[in-house]
Structure 1
């Protein structure tokens, strides 16, 4: 087997990360020493455990050890598992599949892909474990707090075609949200704003300038306090719907970021953000079939 032949196996739904080892002066003696320096946010004990668990490979598939030398201008593969991970007690549902796609209903509180304190408890890894397909990749994304429809690519050969469909705005997405009802606001209306990175870095803010985000907003029903809104984004900026409604003074119910960041415990699954990716419509670029799906989740006043 040559280095080019080796494909790291999927382990417990996790595919390996690839890392290039640059030429350094002075060069580290051991790979372990370099990994501890390069990834200071990961403890030395965790790297030791990964070597002991045989989760680090050379480019040719050799399993590396704690004493393996640092070899510059080579690639290695490593896997990421967490010793302790909070279980997310909500289930996803595969609503439909083709040879190329899964259409999945994501619950609130489930992160899309491995990040931070979540690996196994992410939608991507759950699906990989469930279906045994290492090639699964989300074609677009939903926030951890948002529930509803998301598309996953099953095959690298057609992935780009579906990604282009989103890039060219050929997908019609409809969201529902529960937010404050103000009788003085008239609907339907179109909101066009310029958004940019905010502070903290994981939030967004409104800035002056040419609009780069657009949402069509209408009202479905309301009582004296709350309304159920229908939202159709024309663009796909991060947190767009949350920022647009907050800008109108009708913050989405239970929003932990807008207008003020309010940190909750990671194991607090009460009061989900009342935002749902309810419907998705597109012409499948591979089969040329008209696709129209609705989430089984519902938001109620």
Structure 2
């Protein structure tokens, strides 16, 4: 559904689906209850300023009755954001595709506490591309390669590559050296490398961590290869066959090699402010695919490295 409002400062308008009936006499009354954490008078003043519109662009007022419109659009009021002090780099740009190298801590898209400090908004503003849209996503904590679609006309072709698992993705991770590690006979979870790990992962509503159900058919799979180790850490290469949320973090934790600085797995730690000196040691390193528009093979590699990788010998 097309937005009646243009992209502003790199951020698209938010769409809200309204009930067509209920105990609220007006749309404003519903929104004041829906967004109870906001000052209701401040929200209603946005109606007075003409900042909340219907699908055809009509501005709504405080008195617009509930049921008059099923959807409204508005711009989120920017939060006071903590600056993410790392730059996003553009590795490739053509008329259809942008490939960027995302730093740790930067979310892929706006949400929650982050608007301007998101990969999408930074790139829209940097490149002047209002319709730029991510084709896939990385966790905020994960660094590395991200692909963005430039034009709606070809967006679907690139999205299908991911849906059909026709993109080869390669990651790197650094974990604390597991107890009992034997460099002469390296293994995790009793299995020698390379390891194919599978389990069933499910994201439950209102939970930040995914759930693993050992009794269900696996829906996630990762090939884990050994890159190296030293007396501190283990360095692995990860080739996911599926793309479940937090899959790589869950799989390494299940094998007894949870990724360094992971506050979610194997144990959910209390929420804390970002420590920019201790990024999650997970990196989206490589992307390979056959371009659906040109038919040419494409290959991209991050320029970033993991700071806690084994020291060169």
TM-score (norm. length: structure 2): 0.87
Q: Equivalent residue for 1:255?
A: 262
- Return closer, same or farther for 1:290/1:58 CA change in 2, 3 Å cut-off: same
**SS of 1:105's equivalent?**
strand
| CA deviation after TM superposition for structure 1 residue 70, in Å | 2.5
Q: Equivalent residue for 1:158?
A: 154
**SS of 1:143's equivalent?**
coil
**Does structure 1 retain, via aligned residues, the 8 Å contact 2:4–2:73?**
no
| CA deviation after TM superposition for structure 1 residue 100, in Å | 1.1
**Does structure 2 retain, via aligned residues, the 8 Å contact 1:34–1:70?**
no
1:65-88 deviations in Å (ceiling 9; x for gaps): 4x3423524232111122411111
Q: How does 1:63-212 map to 2 (within 5 A)?
A: 63-65=59-61, 67-70=62-65, 72-74=67-69, 75-181=71-177, 182-183=181-182, 185=187, 186-197=192-203, 201-208=207-214, 209-212=216-219
How many pairs does the alignment contain? Answer: 296
1:36-68 deviations in Å (ceiling 9; x for gaps): 122334442552464466432233324444x34
Q: How does 1:219-234 map to 2 (within 5 A)?
A: 219-234=226-241
| CA deviation after TM superposition for structure 1 residue 229, in Å | 0.6
Distance 2:127 2:23 in 1: 45
1:294 aligns with 2:301: yes
| CA deviation after TM superposition for structure 1 residue 122, in Å | 1.0
1:176-197 deviations in Å (ceiling 9; x for gaps): 1001332251211111222223
- Return closer, same or farther for 1:199/1:37 CA change in 2, 3 Å cut-off: closer
Q: Equivalent residue for 2:287?
A: 280
**SS of 1:246's equivalent?**
helix
Question: Quick check: 19-28 or 170-179, which moved more?
Answer: 19-28
Q: CA RMSD in A?
A: 2.3
1:15 aligns with 2:16: no
TM-score (norm. length: structure 1): 0.90
Question: Quick check: 103-112 or 123-132, which moved more?
Answer: 123-132
| CA deviation after TM superposition for structure 1 residue 164, in Å | 0.9
**Does structure 2 retain, via aligned residues, the 8 Å contact 1:103–1:149?**
yes
- Return closer, same or farther for 1:194/1:48 CA change in 2, 3 Å cut-off: same
List runs of 5+ in structure 1 lacking aligned partners. none
Distance 1:78 1:90 in 2: 29
